[in-house]
Amino acid sequence: MLVFLPACSRDNPDAAALLEPGPPVEERTAARFMVSAAHPHAVEVGLDVLRRGGHAVDAAIAVQMVLGFLEAPESGVGGGGFLLLRDAERDQLQFYDGREIAPAAATPDRFTLVGQALPLWAVVPGGRSVGVPGLVAMLAAAHHDHGRLPWSDLLQPAIALAREGTPMPSRLQRQLAEEDPSLWLSPDLRRHFLAQLRGKDKGDTPALRNPALADTLTQLAADGPDSFYHGEIAQALVERARTSWLWPSDLDPDDLAVYRAVLRDPVCGPYRQWQVCGAPPPSSGGIALIQILGMLSHFPMSDYGPDSAIGIHLVAEASRLAFADRERYLGDPDQVAVPITGLTDPAYLRARAGLIDPGKAMAQALPGEPGGRAVIREARSSRSTERGGTSHFSVVDADGNMVALTSSIEAPFGSRMMSGGFLLNNQLTDFSFEAEQDGRPHPNAVGPHKRPRSSMSPVIVLDDQGRPVLVLGSRGGSRIIGHVARTLVAVLDWQMDIQDAVALPNFVHRGEALELEQGTPIVRHRRALETLGHRVVETRMTSGLHGIERIPEGWRGGADPRLDGIAKGE
């Protein structure tokens, strides 16, 4: 089996991390239970819950709350998320939708001025981008259905860390040093993050503390998760969003009071001998993954391996077609009719695969018509504006229950506003800024209490006997779909160890250009891919893939070396 040579540019810290040797396989192999997440503190907290007999959902709550402190620019109680669960006792998959909703006052022209769509950079910072956070409600719903340990106990590790402090994670230090300098126009970020970064002695690692977040979590522990949506926490959140100096919000306390997490059926589809199950709408992730894999099933992917320009080309072409359908059809299923069955129908995907030429890139990838035409000629190609403030982790408990949880505040540092020690999301910028598409209402147009389309892609793979073989997900905005798709191909077709698979150089096609991870060996294929007809760009891509695969001895984990995390179990 071919593997990439370890030659990465030190100019890209994320790519340079791939140079470091991965953890020995024995350190990420376990017989009973396992956690793979973006920081060792979060993993240890999750393992402690599992040692005490906690359910995978219990561990997920504790892990998520710790990550909300350590990875504040990525996720937290001010955002939302999706939780995909495998219930071992019932042999059943469940999906908890904690996606944010728009205020009741929201209208399709929310991000326009004098009839023109505003640039994304102009609306990310400010109250108009803030949706009602859904993460707490989602965790509470899953805990109500499956939790074994008390809710309040699961918040204590995060409370202690936030109050007592810990060395600032290296990833967070890099973000503060390298992110857009406009971050520091925010008084909230200056007071909290920049003050702590600059408060260190020369050569020392800065400490990270957040007493305000500790107070918020203490209230949630004492009064229960409903206290997030009623009373002091909710009122303070609304006031902060409405007093933004840029694009003040129209959020109302009633918008928080009516929020509910939704239990939905996962979307599942075949890939060779496996069944791949993922996030249904309002995420586009599950459908897109099933489409990409369904098209690739008509090509001998195992013949190409991870260091093949043709393999990259085929994944890219399938991704282009999936993203075209994503733009045309995907939105909030409670307000838009999404043709899930048609989009994932094997016959439709076989017709779409027929558009892929192994020797030449399509001139344009267009959406199809499920149950009808493979291509709709008059439709526009897809676009994506999602950025990358997201985190993913995976958990397996001693009873075989599995959780894949992806959470997000959308852009790194969200709306640049804080309340109660947590960052407020800017998830409403995931809506289309245009109300119509090809003369009809856009499925992802802004609407009252509507959930914006997402790309978050928690996934569980089952074998031909229905047994779970892999749990996986990633960070990365709309690139998440590509990160997860190439990892699934690497594990299932190329039979790679999960750690080697998540450490592969990234490549993604979202409809406009084939992106290759800057400074990695994959860029040597640039000329070959351009010869095939692709427009190729090299860019930094900080995935955050965290997965667990079943092996005869139990479980084996993988953690993305681009972040600070580990996979560990017992």
For residue 330, the SS3 value is: coil
Q: For residues 546 and 392, is the Cβ–Cβ distance under 8 A?
A: yes
> Which H or E run contains 249?
none
Q: What is the DSSP letter of 20?
A: S
Residues 248, 130 contacting (CB under 8 angstroms): no
Cα 86 from Cα 324, distance rounded (Å) = 30
Active-site residue, selected from the candidate residues 390, 406, 429, 542: 390
Nearest to 457 by CA among 222, 280, 306, 212: 280
Tell me the one-letter amino acid at 199: G
**Catalytic annotation on 112?**
no
Q: Where are the alpha helices (DSSP H) in 17-109?
A: 40-51, 56-70
**DSSP notation for 174-193:** HHHHHS-GGGGG-HHHIIII
Q: Cα separation of 48 and 54, whole Å?
A: 9
Which residues on adjacent β-strands are paired with residue 79? none
- Provide the 10 A C-beta neighbour count for residue 7: 12
- 260 φ, ψ (degrees, to nearest 5): -140, 135
Q: Rounded to whole angstroms, what are the CA distances from 325 to 235, 329, 348, 484?
A: 40, 6, 12, 18
Q: C-alpha distances in angstroms, 261 versus 56, 87, 100, 226, 492?
A: 19, 18, 9, 12, 33
Q: Which residues are catalytic?
A: 390
